[in-house]
Amino acid sequence: MENKYKFNSFLSFTLQEEYFAANVAKVLNILEMSKITKIPKSPDYMLGVINLRGTVLPVIDQRIKFGMEATEYTSQTCILVLDIDIDGEKIQVGALVDSVQEVLEITEDQIQPPPNIGSKYKSQFIYGMAKNKDEFIMLLDMDKIFSADELIDLKQNTDKKEAKKLVD
């Protein structure tokens, strides 16, 4: 399996009781929960947008995106600001997660291939699997979580919100 990242550092987080991790090169920030402005007629996994230092950031519920129940807000719930690359275009997206755990250093020989059948998650999102203590962690390829069409929808919904803000 070829490593597409310069770093083998991964930020681990939970969704329900499952452990996931994203390469730290994709995580720009970790934000506490803030008020999310809903956008009409957006996909069910898109919660809305927040103001991030003067820019409009679309926020998605990562649980819904993975076919789980919607996130239940707790004091641990937070938003990961991710840098997604699709077809050479960089898009920032906020991903709602149950909790952030830790930064893990995972060597290439510790990464096992993703499951190819029987998983309730679409395995094309999963870069690999790693074991930490007694838990498996799914290492996500953040660039593959969204299809090109979904990112276009997110960008258009965000652009509409930005245009409305400029008119108001």
Q: How far apart are CA 93 and CA 27, in angstroms?
A: 10
Would residue 2 count as lying in a domain? no
Would residue 83 count as lying in a domain? yes
- Among 1, 21, 26, 3, which residue's Cα sits nearest to residue 11? 21
Q: Which residues contact 113 (CB under 8 A, 6 or more apart)?
A: 1, 128, 129
* Total of domains in the chain: 1
Q: How far is CA 144 from CA 56, 72, 117, 147, in A?
A: 22, 25, 18, 7
Handedness of CA 48, 51, 55, 57 (dihedral sign): negative
pLDDT at 64: 92
Q: What does 64-92 look like in DSSP terms, one character per residue?
A: HHTTSPPPPP-TT-EEEEEEEEETTEEEE
Q: Which domain holds residue 151?
A: 9-167
**Which residues lie across from 91 on neighbouring strands?**
84
Percentage of the chain beyond pLDDT 70 is 78
pLDDT digits (tens, 9 = 90+) for 130-150: 988 888 999 999 888 876 556
Would residue 4 count as lying in a domain? no
Q: State pTM to two decimals.
A: 0.80
pLDDT at 87: 75
Is the pLDDT reported for residue 15 higher than 90? yes
List the CATH number of the domain containing 143: 2.40.50.180
Question: Three-state DSSP class for 162?
Answer: helix
pLDDT at 118: 55
Is the pLDDT reported for residue 163 higher than 60? no
Would residue 47 count as lying in a domain? yes
- Joined tokens for residue 51: 């103001």
pLDDT digits (tens, 9 = 90+) for 60-86: 999 998 889 999 999 999 999 999 887
pLDDT digits (tens, 9 = 90+) for 95-113: 999 999 999 999 888 899 8
Q: How far apart are CA 10 and CA 95, in angstroms?
A: 16
Cβ-based neighbour number of residue 147 at 10 Å: 11
Give yes or no for a contact between 28 and 82, defined as CB atoms under 8 angstroms apart: yes
